[in-house]
A = this chain, B = another copy of it.
Amino acid sequence: MREVILASQSPRRQELLQRLVPSFSVQPADIDESMSPEMTPEQAVCDLARRKAQAIAQSHPQSLVIAADTIVVCDTIFGKPEDEADAARMLRSLSGRAHQVMTAVSVAGDGREKTEVSVTDVHFRPMSETEIADYIATGEPMDKAGAYGIQGYGSLFIERIEGDYYGVMGLPVCMLHQMLKKFPEKG
């Protein structure tokens, strides 16, 4: 079996990829993460994942490269919060309504590349200012798109989802599993 490289330093993606791939290395892609304002959110997140995969694939042509990117769409696009005030602003926006989480996954190998996107609706219950402050104090929001983690205390505010939980967590394993079947194990 050839080498598999995960182009992401997210510990959640590393944990989830282990369900599919027993052994892989991690090499985060250093790309310009700015998004073109002319793209839709789906196009923009796919573009980011594709450029991450290609950046690593160029220097590792014998490997299979997996990259992913996640954005939260709630009127506008939320990435990771810049500071605690930014996290509070995002959580106030998410409170008491639904938003979308989009995770694009790109697989590159054999000179080929395939990118797909998982879109999930996430419904937050109303959060009080005290709950927002207490949640930020846990430290959980700071490294996550949209300032929450569905796999942690963020779960206490999520009434329901429509889509893939693992897409919200950062790596839609069912979708990726099917994508990997299109790439033969030996290059």
Q: Which residues of A contact B (CB under 8 A)?
A: 19-20, 120, 125, 150, 152-153, 155-166, 173-175, 177-178
Contacts and interface: CB of A to CB of B under 8 A. Distances in A.
A174 B150 contact: no
A165 B165 contact: yes
B156 A19 contact: yes
A161 B159 CA distance: 13
3 closest A-B pairs (Cβ-Cβ)?
A165-B165, A162-B162, A156-B177
Say what secondary structure dominates the interface of chain A: mixed
26 contacts: A19-B152, A19-B155, A19-B156, A20-B156, A120-B160, A125-B174, A125-B178, A150-B165, A155-B165, A155-B166, A155-B173, A155-B174, A156-B173, A156-B174, A156-B177, A157-B174, A158-B164, A158-B174, A159-B164, A159-B175, A160-B162, A160-B164, A161-B161, A161-B162, A161-B164, A161-B165
Contacts of A178: 125
A87 B174 CA distance: 21
Contact of A160 (B125, B155, B163): B163
A20 B173 CA distance: 27
Of listed A125, A156, A177, A178, residue having the most chain B CB within 10 A: A156
Contacts of A125: 174, 178
A138 to B, nearest CB: 10
